Structure 1
């Protein structure tokens, strides 16, 4: 080997040591930098003319394992989803309050039961009645407040969905730009460590926002797909288009559209693919789950609870009367008009009673005797025929009224002891809302009792949008019911069973006139919602949503209240009972009669038909609702903790491989120092040999 070759080899050794020291210097400087992967210099043997000639120094490269990085991306998605779900379920739990809180829903319901027991124990004192009616009003207010809180919480989720979509777009733009930089540097044979580190950090954040599949290409770029296979990035950038609702709770939300975008992020044509379910995973999937499934389901259950409570309390109040009885009983709209089928069986007694409780006149209407074709107007005529001139009944604008002719008298309605009147499981007075304790302008607070042969009464152009979602909140089918198939409720059933909804289940009217949906096995757990409804049955003000019972969202809770007259005057609570065997001139209502208090106690402890949610007592249903919410929050918190631990483990394994270890770097520095010194010594020796050679030639 010539002296020149020796010097060249030594110089390459010095350069290699310097390059190694630069990498060590960078590694030590970035020991605390998140997302930094240590550098290592690539060295190879120099060969010239078949002989070894020093060392060839390559560009510094990242020390990273793509499999360990992909493990981080996968686990970040699960951690992001569970953290989002757990956070909002915790907020929901905070809204519900602790189990021992006196203002919580469970405590409010218990207060109703305990206060009605006090009425019986204190012989119907004004204070005990006021406490009871106040507790009922407080419970309705609590339910309403919870509905508003859940709606606001849903609006907060929607706001965060918008922010998350915006952040995803920023990250996709950044990764696209870094892709171009990495590909350019790699094409020039230069180090890509810097932009590759930045890209990995962006990918890690993106994978926490949605589940992604990352693939590295031969030119150094990465492609990104969603967990469902939708392309987000290849050589062409995509962006997510979402018309955020500015944090407002809405009936339905638009899907997130995937659009092609220019290099500067300007959106263009749609790719034809959309993100519309929790399958997207990550934080975005968790938010969609809360917005489209968890919170609406809880809200609907609150509506079902209110419906059951209102029906229970009104059952007891309509079985009683007051002392003295009111001159007029005015009902509520139930969707019927005068020409509608009456649909009652059994008997009910209508009485006119003097202010001192003496019976003036009465009649017992046998609805079976009126016949199956009898109408509401026929029942009104039968009452008037028997009680005129002492009292009159009228049915105007869908509201039944029953009034005594003289202000010295009052009226009362009672069920027959042996064959009580019945339509859809409720009595005549309750069905028409004559003596309701709980009232609502947007619901009849009783089952409709319609059959398939009854006219639906919806006008031309009146529609109801029906949406079916799977257990994850994804829309399975969406149909706008028009009523154009025919004029009866049976025709509505036929229309729905011929719609796209029928691919996932079937519709039918149950024995209480409620529209029931039975999902197929593959669609088990799916839920129905009615986001928009312009129907108005024969101008009564009640819609398909309110009459069908398909969703608890139309329970009437939003306009519910305790009857104002009862709240302002404790004597207006119907605690007395009409004495059915009293003759004219005898006492039909006794002073101090509080037998109705027992009816309230029995009703509150009895079973209630919650339709698709089964049969249970009010307390059991409420405890099941609150317990389910608490259990879901607890499970979500555990899942978030586990997912965070798994993510930390993946990060530790990635960083233990690619992260900077100061001890290792110091050891490498000693090796490089020695290598540098040795190469320098070789150069010194070679230089001395040159000097000797030159001296010999002089």
Structure 2
């Protein structure tokens, strides 16, 4: 059956369903086999949309029938440049949608370009002369009745991409009963009515799962990390190392800033503080100056009295 955008296969009479691609001519859609593309019997599932390689081409209908998406453009310091409302052209193709997005009059054409690669994934590239960052602040578009929004389907904007990881979860059936993990591997060489195509004790699937980290995959841009193609294990190690280095750098900068703040505070306190010995010396100096002034005044008075007596 096909419901809510998800394909499901089932068998009756106590029978099961197993799927395997032909070894020489496997099914392939944007680099994925049949079961992979439709997410059949996945161990890890997601409530969102992932990955963002849709398989759409420029001539395919975009399928968005209603709603509006607000695109925000900001400068390198995060200051808002402009909010651009965008409505997908009704009944148009993906190329029509890209043209509308990249319009210099009503789209982002003055600041950058949206493009779609051969796997149907949309990305935004800023103009080099005026670097900007793009994000989505609101999106009410809908692909079909009850379908995903444009930002959800294509992963447009950092907010959508950065939150997809939290939507992944382990298949509930396998989590509750680990015996349901598909450890066996379908043997297509067995004829109908012959030996079992799935044998008890076959652990080839478990070995394949254990070695999944050695599979090569292409990873898109993530923050300051560029797009790369490498094994899952190596990417995880490099990504974790990158986070550790950035954390160490941030910690070092925090310590340096704290040291500067402490020094400035110490100097401020030294200027604002009261030194009793210094103040006592100042008071003594002022007292001596006052006494000297008093004696000078008294001497002047005595001289005036003498002069007055002489003249009188």
Give the whole-Å Cα distance in 2 for the aligned partners of 1:648 and 1:435: 58
Alignment pair present for 1:688 and 2:302: yes
Residues matched between the structures, number: 302
Q: How far apart are residue 511 of structure 1 and its match?
A: 2.1
| Contact 1:466/1:531 (8 A) holds in 2 | yes
For 1:463, the equivalent position in structure 2 comes to 68
Task: State which of 98, 105, 114 in structure 2 corresponds to 1:493.
Answer: 98
Alignment pair present for 1:518 and 2:125: yes
| Contact 2:63/2:91 (8 A) holds in 1 | no
Q: How far apart are residue 490 of structure 1 and its match?
A: 1.7
For 1:547, the equivalent position in structure 2 comes to 153
Alignment pair present for 1:395 and 2:32: no
Give deviations 1:198-256, integer Å, cap 9, x for gaps.
Answer: xxxxxxxxxxxxxxxxxxxxxxxxxxxxxxxxxxxxxxxxxxxxxxxxxxxxxxxxxxx
Cα–Cα, structure 1 residues 576 and 445, in superposed 2: closer, same or farther, change >3 Å? farther
For 1:607, the equivalent position in structure 2 comes to 216
Give the whole-Å Cα distance in 2 for the aligned partners of 1:549 and 1:604: 24
For 1:14, the equivalent position in structure 2 comes to none
For 1:570, the equivalent position in structure 2 comes to 178
Give the whole-Å Cα distance in 2 for the aligned partners of 1:430 and 1:657: 70
Alignment pair present for 1:473 and 2:78: yes
Give the whole-Å Cα distance in 2 for the aligned partners of 1:538 and 1:485: 12
For 1:336, the equivalent position in structure 2 comes to none
1:46-195 paired onto structure 2 within 5 Å: none
Give the whole-Å Cα distance in 2 for the aligned partners of 1:433 and 1:589: 20
Cα–Cα, structure 1 residues 469 and 599, in superposed 2: closer, same or farther, change >3 Å? farther
Q: Which has the higher helix share?
A: 1
| Contact 1:533/1:545 (8 A) holds in 2 | yes
For 1:627, the equivalent position in structure 2 comes to 241
SS in 1 for 2:242: helix
Q: TM-score, normalised by structure 2?
A: 0.80
Cα–Cα, structure 1 residues 396 and 640, in superposed 2: closer, same or farther, change >3 Å? closer
Cα–Cα, structure 1 residues 601 and 470, in superposed 2: closer, same or farther, change >3 Å? farther
Relative CO higher for 1 or 2, CA cutoff 8 Å, sep ≥ 6?
1
Alignment pair present for 1:596 and 2:205: yes
Task: Please report the RMSD computed on the Cα atoms of aligned residues, expressed in angstroms.
Answer: 3.3
Cα–Cα, structure 1 residues 691 and 453, in superposed 2: closer, same or farther, change >3 Å? same
| Contact 2:184/2:199 (8 A) holds in 1 | yes
| Contact 1:509/1:515 (8 A) holds in 2 | yes
| Contact 2:88/2:100 (8 A) holds in 1 | yes
Gapped runs of 5+ residues in structure 2? none
For 1:321, the equivalent position in structure 2 comes to none
Q: How far apart are residue 649 of structure 1 and its match?
A: 5.8
Gapped runs of 5+ residues in structure 1? 1-393
Give the whole-Å Cα distance in 2 for the aligned partners of 1:522 and 1:627: 32
For 1:449, the equivalent position in structure 2 comes to 55
Give the whole-Å Cα distance in 1 for the aligned partners of 2:99 and 2:282: 80
